[in-house]
Structure 1
């Protein structure tokens, strides 16, 4: 088994409380509305198999704006992928958002950073949500 760690940082003009509420807490309502071409729906289901992926929420802390989850039941190349997401305030009222992905591979499979597609799509999701929140200042307030 191999362990590979990747970190992405995204800065936003949106404060962490509002951005974490949109991307994490209210995601099941907001994300399918904003990205219907990519995400049909998000169902919060405990212990059930989802059609495309299965995630296990490990921690959701609305006070510290942290969210940890693990993608499980993956392909023959991966045991699991753990994600740590943290939204931090900046002195100017904006936010710095950090996502660390820890990939646990099976056997001798070697993972390269360019092989990690979901993280890049996640950062794209941040941009879509940020644009929506800028246009809708009362949403997720």
Structure 2
């Protein structure tokens, strides 16, 4: 939802691998800010990997959260986005699977 974002600012790099983006969310969102690092971008294969490295949604529970996205053509002429997520916790924090699943739905 575009209205979820107040601003997206490229603070380091040119948008490719190694770049850092600062995202500020709208007041209506429960998350206020985030920083993402672009890890891999393949425009020809429609692949985008990034890592959430800073922000209030990490809640002092996660060191970082890595995402791998791939866009593919669907049989109906549209597209399908496949997302893989890896959570890296701080210390020996135990994750609540129900909370993680609830977060995926948002």
How is 1:55-70 mapped onto 2 (pairs within 5 angstroms)?
55-70=36-51
Q: CA 1:66/1:48 → structure 2, altered by over 3 Å: closer, same or farther?
A: closer
In angstroms, what is the RMSD of aligned CA positions? 2.5
Q: Secondary structure at the match of 1:63?
A: coil
1:110 maps to which residue?
Answer: 94
Select the residue among 49, 58, 79 that pairs with 2:63. 79
Q: Which has the higher contact order (CA 8 A, sep 6+)?
A: 1
Aligned residues: 87
1:43 maps to which residue?
Answer: 9
TM-score, normalised by the number of residues in structure 1:
0.51
Can you give the 5+ residue segments of structure 2 that lack an aligned partner in the other structure? 13-18, 25-32
How is 1:12-31 mapped onto 2 (pairs within 5 angstroms)?
none
Can you give the 5+ residue segments of structure 1 that lack an aligned partner in the other structure? 1-30, 122-141
Looking at secondary structure, tell me which structure has more helix per residue: 1
TM-score, normalised by the number of residues in structure 2:
0.66
1:101 maps to which residue?
Answer: 85
